[in-house]
Amino acid sequence: MLKISNLVKRYGNGEPVLRDLNLEVPDESVVSIIGASGAGKSTLLRCINRLVEPTSGSIELNGVELTGLRHNDLRHARRHIGMIFQGFNLVDRLTVMENVQCGRLGYIPYWRAALRRYPAEDIDRAFHLMERVGIAHYADKRADELSGGERQRVGVVRALMQEPEILLADEPTASLDPVSSRQIMELLQNLAAEFKLPVLINIHNVNEAKEFTQRIVGMRFGRLIFDGTPADLDEQAMGEVYSGTQSEEQGEGKTPSQPVVS
């Protein structure tokens, strides 16, 4: 259970990127976060695992307040928060197995990491998860030899290796072709059910959001302005989430009647 209340993030003295944001995500639910670029979606996810430092407000994960943690406490909390990135963020020059084991680095002592002496149960778990997503035969390949969809699977397995209590996915499909993109969304949906995980997905592709998630949250200018089922997201709601921004970006004078959704 993730509970965000009154979250504010401001970079320097500028306009706040997140304004007084409230969001509750119960266990075992997949939530899509949609919104135009710059609406604060990425910042929101990164506030949860403190890659970005929130300015004020509270973020609670299964009863643990995350905003005040420091040093080792923060590291220990991060171990339970899996993250999947738009650019995969794999270590290109390491093997798939080493990349997958990166998810365990918070748990094992440094000498094991340094000498690649991973605990036997971690190796078992890695093979098990890699088989689950269909990349076990790549264990000894270098990460940069894989295709985009395969790399994102490595990213997913890395996050699952953490035995996470929540998964954060920041545009997980934006660098992928349509087919791999759908496969990854399907995978995230299934894994959420299998591991009973809450999953937060930032996504630009509204059609995929509607198809693969039960709940959609719309952000605009750092606020949640929509929260409902895919069926609730009608044209009017879409307009509220996306209106104005498109024309500003393209420097046009008038608001397009229908937002461009790809």
Interface residues toward other proteins, by CB under 8 A: 49, 51, 74-79, 81-83, 85, 87, 89-94, 98, 102-103, 105-106, 110, 113-114, 155, 158, 162
Instruction: Please report how close the Cβ of residue 158 comes to other proteins at its closest, in angstroms.
Output: 7
Distances in Å between the Cα of 32 and the Cα atoms of 50, 151, 167, 168 are 20, 22, 12, 10
- Taking the complex as a whole, the smallest distance from the CB of residue 227 to other proteins amounts, in Å, to 26
The smaller minimum CB distance to other proteins, of residues 93 and 254, is found at 93
Handedness of CA 105, 107, 109, 111 (dihedral sign): negative
**Cβ neighbours of residue 167 closer than 8 Å, sequence gap 6 or more:** 82, 83, 84, 159, 188, 191, 192, 197, 198, 199, 200
Please tell me whether residue 32 adopts helix, strand or coil conformation: strand
For residue 116, report the phi and psi dihedrals to the nearest 5 degrees.
60, 30
Q: Residue 92 or residue 186: which is nearer to other proteins going by CB?
A: 92
**Residue closer to other proteins, measured from CB, 166 or 206:** 166
In the complex, minimum distance from the CB of residue 216 to other proteins, in angstroms, rounded to a whole number: 24
CB of 106 to other proteins, least distance (A): 3
Residue number, 70 or 254, with CB nearest to other proteins: 70
